[in-house]
Amino acid sequence: MPKVRTKDLIDKFKLEILSGEEGINRPIITSDLSRPGIEIAGYFTYYPAERVQLLGKTELSFFERLSEKEKEGRMDQLCTDVTPAIIVTRDMEIPTELLEASEREGVPVLSSPMKTTRLSSHLTNFLEGKLAPTTAVHGVLVDIYGVGVLIIGKSGVGKSETALELVKRGHRLVADDCVEIRQEDQDTLIGNSPELIEHLLEIRGLGIINVMTLFGAGAVRSYKRITLVINLELWDPQKQYDRLGLEEEKMRIIDTDLTKLTVPVRPGRNLAVIIEVAAMNFRLKRMGVNAAEQFTTKLASVIEEGDNDEE
């Protein structure tokens, strides 16, 4: 099922339909836009017909210089059976040849009062958000000191209870149980909650609670960029856990690698505080302060001084 159709653009940007109304359900498959100036000049060899076409002052002023026969031919070629829409900006007068060709092919011709560059920017941002690759992850997403922390782990390990404690400590819940993730850029993952369970937390023994109702609007947010993954796992005495923090594990979601920390769970460990400190330490590392590396450097210098004294 198409994620975006032409009618979504009409509703979002309040565009006026001038002709080709039968095509408003056409799918839009790419966020790339086209300003078909070179096509109006007659070069259609690489015409990206599947893109939304924008006609501004430059394109239409050149179009007026063409002969009547050229005008008809160019507009016939511009309107194809896969073109989702042709948008004329600045509320400019629509060429009769375009209206006639669009009616024949069922291509919606839309009008906007916005300038071409501004509309192009808004359209691109909207389409990139809608057409971004998406996935869903079982876990909890919390905004901790501005860091989007995705908490994952096996069912029953204590993810939701930890999230509840974090909310009590003043942090904000984004999603519980199911986190919908979309990749908006090369390395930007945005997480949000499915609409059905937004602002809800499931705590075993209590049931479902509404975080916004209990803690206020400041305890929740609709979406957050994910930058850190924390994996909660039951303590395994046979496993060697990282005690210095020099090793950096990665987790790939869609096409983006995220820093992943594994935190062992056992009675007596305050997971909320550990995750809170992990988020603060992650921020420090991004600012160039790495406590583990500083300690290792100091340790190496002490050992070196000791060796020199023995000599």
Q: Dihedral angle at the C-alpha atoms of 293, 298, 304, 307, nearest 10 degrees?
A: -130
* Domain shared by 259 and 208, yes or no: yes
Angle, to 10 degrees, between the axis of helix 6-13 and the axis of helix 116-131?
A: 120
Q: Is residue 285 part of a domain?
A: yes
* 141 against 311, higher pLDDT: 141
* pLDDT number for residue 2: 67
Catalytic entry in 69, 239, 243, 266: 243
- 290 has pLDDT over 90: no
- 158 annotated ligand-binding residue: yes
pLDDT in tens, 100-126: 999 999 999 999 999 999 999 999 999
In angstroms, the Cα distances linking 11 to 24, 89, 111 are 11, 16, 13
Q: Is residue 301 part of a domain?
A: no
- 34 annotated ligand-binding residue: no
- 184 has pLDDT over 70: yes
* Domain shared by 116 and 244, yes or no: no
- 147 annotated ligand-binding residue: no
Q: How many domains does the chain have?
A: 2
> Residue 235's domain spans which residues?
134-290
* Domain shared by 91 and 64, yes or no: yes
Q: Is residue 222 part of a domain?
A: yes
User: Among 132-136, 198-202, 303-307, which is the least confidently predicted range?
Assistant: 303-307
* Domain shared by 116 and 48, yes or no: yes
199 counts as catalytic: no
- 202 annotated ligand-binding residue: yes
- 235 has pLDDT over 90: no
Q: How confident is the model at residue 7 (pLDDT cuts 50, 70, 90)?
A: very high
What are 194's two structure tokens? 């499915």
* Domain shared by 121 and 162, yes or no: no
Query: Which domain-ending residue is among 131, 152, 184?
Result: 131
What predicted TM-score, i.e. pTM, was given to this entire model? Answer: 0.75
pLDDT in tens, 246-280: 677 899 999 899 999 988 888 878 899 999 999 99
Catalytic entry in 177, 199, 221, 224: 177
138 counts as catalytic: yes
Catalytic entry in 74, 159, 182, 224: 159
Q: Is residue 298 part of a domain?
A: no
182 counts as catalytic: no
Query: Which domain-ending residue is among 88, 106, 131?
Result: 131
CATH number for 56: 3.40.1390.20
Share of the chain above pLDDT 90, in %: 74
* Domain shared by 164 and 247, yes or no: yes
- 157 annotated ligand-binding residue: yes
Is residue 267 within 8 Å of 257, Cβ to Cβ? Answer: no
Catalytic entry in 12, 14, 138, 298: 138
Q: Is residue 310 part of a domain?
A: no
26 counts as catalytic: no
pLDDT in tens, 204-213: 889 999 999 9
- 120 annotated ligand-binding residue: no
Is residue 38 within 8 Å of 59, Cβ to Cβ? Answer: no
What are 172's two structure tokens? 């904000």
